[in-house]
Amino acid sequence: EDQVTQSPEALRLQEGESSSLNCSYTVSGLRGLFWYRQDPGKGPEFLFTLYSAGEEKEKERLKATLTKKESFLHITAPKPEDSATYLCAEPSYGKLTFGQGTILTVHP
């Protein structure tokens, strides 16, 4: 069974305190790894797609990286507005399989 596992489940940071979120996957025939941001009561908002090991993508304070077995979402000098749930997902035969998410809280 395809599985996507994220860690930690929750992460509390002080504003400016950099950290990383992890996403491990077991889907065979990887056709991309996606990161989404989800605010409470909202739909997932697309952040990044990574297709091959070694690939990196950046957007403001976020940088996503990919290895053969996992992906990291690095958050540099986070601000309170970065507080959200960060989801990773993999496509498999068209559908996305999501991890359970990491709830990030950034305190001012």
- Contacting residues for 26 by C-beta, under 8 A, at least 6 apart: 2, 3, 4
Token digits of residue 51 = 């297709």
- Contacting residues for 100 by C-beta, under 8 A, at least 6 apart: 5, 6, 9
CB of 1 to another protein, least distance (A): 12
Calculate the CA 66 to chain-centre distance: 11
Residue type, 19: S
Binding mask 16-55 for another protein (x = CB under 8 A): ---------------xx-x-x----xxxxxx--x------
Closest CB to another protein among residues 72, 96: 96
Token digits of residue 48 = 């990044």
CB of 51 to another protein, least distance (A): 9
Q: Binding residue for another protein (CB under 8 A) from 71, 78, 86, 99? A: 99
* Residue 91 near another protein by CB under 8 A: yes
Binding residues vs another protein (CB under 8 A): 31-32, 34, 36, 41-46, 49, 87, 89, 91, 93-101
